[in-house]
Amino acid sequence: MAADLDVVNLLIIAGGTLAIPILAFVASFLLWPSALIKVYYWYWRRTLGLQVRFADCGGYRFCYSYRGKPGMRPSILMLHGFSAHKDTWLTVVKYLPKHLHIVCVDMPGHEGTTRTNTDDYSIQGQVSRIHQFVETTGLHRKPFHLVGTSMGGNVAGVYAACYPAEICSITLICPDGIRHPCETKFDNCLQDLEHSNYSINIPLIPTTPEEMEDMFRLCSHVRFKIPQQILQGLVDVQQPHNNFYQEVFMEIFGEKSRYSLQEHLHLITAPLQVIWGKQDQVVDVSGAAVIAEVLPGCRVDLLDNCGHSVVMERPCRTAKLILEFIITQQDAKETSSRHTELIKLK
């Protein structure tokens, strides 16, 4: 009888032990979805072997995550898009070899990087800040591969034009800053915003779960089924920063920055790769042809059944294309160097 009671007590204790984390998860999901999202990113970074660090320079602090150390292959610096953060790249990093040195930085004013009222958040201003980050972390000691998506693609392209000696190759993913000949759904939204003198909500700055869902529909061709609580959590995470995002939006779509990438294309000398979703409703895929016309030697990879959120919709394919491009360019450079040495010997 005593043995039976011991077994019952053991089962009760075991059940209670299992119930606590389950109840905690359910409570977090229902009551604090924003906290659950932060834990989710922390867990994913840890699983992928990424470490978060800070780089300080003259009172300005950059937050970034990294994996690996500089080696035979070039380091990879990844720049995220508007209102996003360094963890945007987790889906792609998952499919990249662990020996590569990868750095994902929070863009100026975003997430853990310093935000000030006096900073210049135009594309050129962000380029200057990213250059500061590169110098502070020592990335410039050896030419690196630069990757940028959307706003980050605009910044990456202008960076490559301004600091060509630091870049060995570059990948632009659905970059803005191009005069694309075909209008998109987002272009129509921009026109409505301008006509209303920006009195209506900006579609890339959602304030409700419904607007968050609309933003996902705009940015992604693949339809993700996201629970209402997670949508609410995403809104809760973003809400405190919306005034700042509005400020950045006005800067990057203002006269000074709107076509920054196109204005600097002719100055890009590094091998260039362009990846674009064919169903992009934010920045039309026709922008790829505009880039190729100015830089005919660039590589263009267009993805079927994919929208603006290439990193989220096609992470495995994106990682494979980036790695393939880096290896091709490095092999071509080594072959050219050997050829030059042979000519010298003759």
**Are 62 and 50 in contact, with CB atoms under 8 Å apart?**
no
- Helix (H, G, I), strand (E, B), or coil: what is residue 22? helix
Active site residue 87: no
Q: Which residues pair with 60 in a beta bridge?
A: 57
Q: Active site residue: 106, 119, 280, 301, which one?
A: 280
**Are 151 and 176 in contact, with CB atoms under 8 Å apart?**
yes
The count of residues in the chain is 346
Residue with tokens 């006005």: 250
Active site residue 308: yes
DSSP 286-336: HHHHHHHHHSTT-EEEEETT--S-HHHHSHHHHHHHHHHHHHHHHHHHHHH
Q: Give the closest residue to 148 by CA, choosing from 201, 100, 99, 76.
A: 76
Written as one letter, the residue type at 208 is T
**Are 244 and 85 in contact, with CB atoms under 8 Å apart?**
no
- Helix (H, G, I), strand (E, B), or coil: what is residue 199? coil
**Are 303 and 277 in contact, with CB atoms under 8 Å apart?**
yes
Q: Active site residue: 83, 150, 169, 257, which one?
A: 150
Residues 6+ apart with CB under 8 A from 246: 202, 205
Active site residue 150: yes
Catalytic residues: 150, 280, 308
